Amino acid sequence: MIELRNVTAGYGKHTVLSNLSVAFEKGKLTSIVGVNGCGKSTLLKAVLGMIPLGGGEIFIDGRALGNMTRNEIARKAAYLSQGKNTPDMTVEQLVLHGRFPHLNYPRRYTAQDRDIAVLAMEQAGIADAARKPLHTLSGGMRQNAYIAMALAQNTDYILLDEPTTYLDIGHQLELMHILRGLAGDGKGIIAVMHDLPMAFTFSDSIVLLNNGQVIGNDAPNQLCKQQTISHVFGVAIERSADGQTYRYQYKA
Amino acid sequence: MKNSANYYLGKNRIKWLYIAGFFFLGTAFLLGIMLGSTPLSLEEIADAFRKGAHASAGARIFTYVRLPRTLASLVCGAALSVSGAVIQGVLANRLASPSMIGVNAGAGLAVTLCTAFGIFGGWQLSLFSFIGAFAAVMLVSFGAKRWGASRGTVILIGVALNSLLGAVSDTITTFIPEVAVMSSDFKVGAFSAVTYQKLIPAMVVVAAVIVILHTLHNELDVLTLGEENAKGLGLNTALMRTLFLLLAALLAGCAVSLAGLLSFVGLLVPHAIRRVAGGKAWNLLGLCALYGAAFVCVCDTVARTAFAPYEIPVGIIMAYLGAPFFVFILIKGKGGHSRD
């Protein structure tokens, strides 16, 4: 479990998260939603120890974040940032770097690391493109390559910042199914999402942020009944049953 | 649409690039020691090894002029090319190179200062040269980060820094004319003033740094994934960035202490290698060292022989090749791997 207790964090004097408490569980896909600038990305960065805490504590599986080295954090939680370079390397080279936190200087990837990377590429559906340079791939395939890198990192938690942004709908759905599968395998998946119907449809749990505070934290079918979503976004979301599957959509 | 087979940068291709590189280097070295205003035969060179100080005039030319000079061109070529590859990686900017962003100028100012105070060689010269280079590269790196400067702006900061540091050097040479004796060759870059006293420390440091960089090749790769991804993989980005720039400055400093302000090598060679071998740091570092060394050695041999008995500084040849190449990168390559 990743647990934030009374966390205050921000950039310099600008406080983004104030006195925020929330917990994320393994084996669940949790989406963090909220309007622009409410602190969604900041929350992920705080969990990864990328920004200093102004107050409060964060625990990853019972260990205080402050006592963990950057390598130890990277072995617990993988991170897919929002802005990604397109580095000058092939897919397999990128994915192999997912093994980086598991090695010490001088880092040399072993045959075992290579095997793990191959498995990760297969799981993310990118194995066919293993030898292709990243800049020759479509945005969706490149995203899958980064997912494979996070999988090769072999962590209990994967944190993703707007993973579906800029992807066409086919790739968005493919990605959400991959994330669902990973949660089913017991990993804790925490994703910052902009697309509410997508987040509600696929997540086990939704954390709603507003002004650096958690104002909603519930299962999708519960949260959509509350007023908080329309309070924050100005639109409501509803569940409609279509035979066996549920879909969430914006309410007229 | 390019054929995907063109993108297959397999082990074989890299292997052949290494083999060709060693062959190129060997040939360049042999030509370098044999050709010049006094052509030397292999016998005379062998003579130098057999008889030492009592050898023929030709053999002594080999020992005291040709060999140090050829070695210096190899060391400088490898140092500047590898330094360029590292700086380009760390700043995520393929227009950057030691001469372009003022690193060489920083080292150059330090060397000019040393000369003014009567230090003409040895470890002290290499040390100060390194300090000058490091100060310049940290300044540019800090500036780029602090003001969120784009790739173009970083190059412009470098242009300004080059002019400023050049002006300070000129001021010193104006007030202390003795320093100006070597000034013109120093500014364009030349190997005519190489001595063993300067060569040995530079050679040791350059070799050591290139070995150290090879042990950090995965770190360099991860750094090119971008700040946040690199941190996410557990890399201490601030520390590694500084370490890489420090090593790059060591290389550039050594090169400047030997040959002066040799420009364009650090831009041209890494760029060309990246094109044929891809961006993997391990290959980039090794191949840049090989081809960079051979390239500068060939250029210096041409500089010595093309207009014999007159000799032109190698920097002039570099500029003829490098300046059009830089414009080519600006127009064609748009200069970088991160979109901004």
- Pair (A49, A95) in one structural domain: no
The residue among A240 and A149 whose pLDDT is bigger is A149
- Pair (A43, A162) in one structural domain: yes
Q: Residue B340 pLDDT > 50, yes or no? A: no
Q: Residue B150 pLDDT > 80, yes or no? A: no
* A73, part of any domain: no
* A185, part of any domain: yes
* B148, part of any domain: yes
Q: How many domains does chain A have?
A: 2
Q: Residue A18 pLDDT > 80, yes or no? A: yes
CB contact under 8 A, B218 and A109: yes
Q: Which of A111, A130, A155 is the last residue of a domain?
A: A155
* A74, part of any domain: no
- Pair (A88, A163) in one structural domain: no
Residues of A in contact with B2 (CB under 8 A): 136
* B250, part of any domain: yes
Q: How many domains does chain B have?
A: 1
**Residue A241 to residues A199, A221, A247: CA-CA distances in angstroms?**
16, 12, 6
CB contact under 8 A, A97 and B218: yes
Residue B52 contacts A where some CB pair is shorter than 8 Å: no
Residue B190, pLDDT score = 80
Q: How far is A202 from chain B (nearest CA, A)?
A: 25
* A79, part of any domain: no
- Split at pLDDT 50, 70, 90, the class of B2 is very low
* A91, part of any domain: yes
Give the mutation candidate from B13, B221, B334, B340 for the A interface (greatest A CB count, under 10 A). Answer: B221
Mean pLDDT across chain B, nearest whole number?
Answer: 84
CATH number where A44 lies: 3.40.50.300
CA angle at B80 for the pair B79 and B82, rounded to the nearest 5° = 70
Residue A245, pLDDT score = 66
The residue among B193 and B285 whose pLDDT is bigger is B285
- When mean pLDDT is compared across A195-204, A242-251, B12-21, the lowest value belongs to A242-251
Q: How far is B80 from chain A (nearest CA, A)?
A: 21
| Structural domain containing residue B282 | 72-333
In this structure, the number of other CB atoms found within 10 A of the CB of residue A197 comes to 15
CB contact under 8 A, B337 and A85: yes
Residue range A107-125: mean pLDDT, rounded: 91
Q: Residue B19 pLDDT > 70, yes or no? A: yes
* B223, part of any domain: yes
CATH number where B258 lies: 1.10.3470.10
Q: Residue B21 pLDDT > 50, yes or no? A: yes
- Pair (A162, A244) in one structural domain: yes
Assess contact for B233 and A74: CB atoms under 8 A.
yes
Residue B8, pLDDT score = 47
- Pair (A137, A173) in one structural domain: no
- Pair (A44, A166) in one structural domain: yes
Q: Residue A151 pLDDT > 80, yes or no? A: yes
* B36, part of any domain: no
CB contact under 8 A, B233 and A153: yes
* B31, part of any domain: no
| Interface residues on A facing B, Cβ-Cβ cutoff 8 A | 45, 48, 50, 69-75, 78-81, 83-90, 93-94, 97-98, 100-101, 103, 105-109, 131-133, 135-136, 146, 153
Residue range B101-125: mean pLDDT, rounded: 83
Residue B181, pLDDT score = 58
CB contact under 8 A, B221 and A87: yes
- Pair (A242, A178) in one structural domain: yes
Residues of B in contact with A97 (CB under 8 A): 218, 221-222, 225, 233
- Pair (A50, A91) in one structural domain: no
Residue range B173-188: mean pLDDT, rounded: 74
Residue B272 contacts A where some CB pair is shorter than 8 Å: no
Q: Residue B241 pLDDT > 90, yes or no? A: no
- pLDDT cut 90: percent of chain A above it: 54
| Structural domain containing residue A243 | 2-61+156-250
Residue B10, pLDDT score = 60
- Pair (A162, A39) in one structural domain: yes
Residue range A44-68: mean pLDDT, rounded: 92
Find out whether the peptide bond into A106 is cis, omega within 30 degrees of 0.
Answer: yes
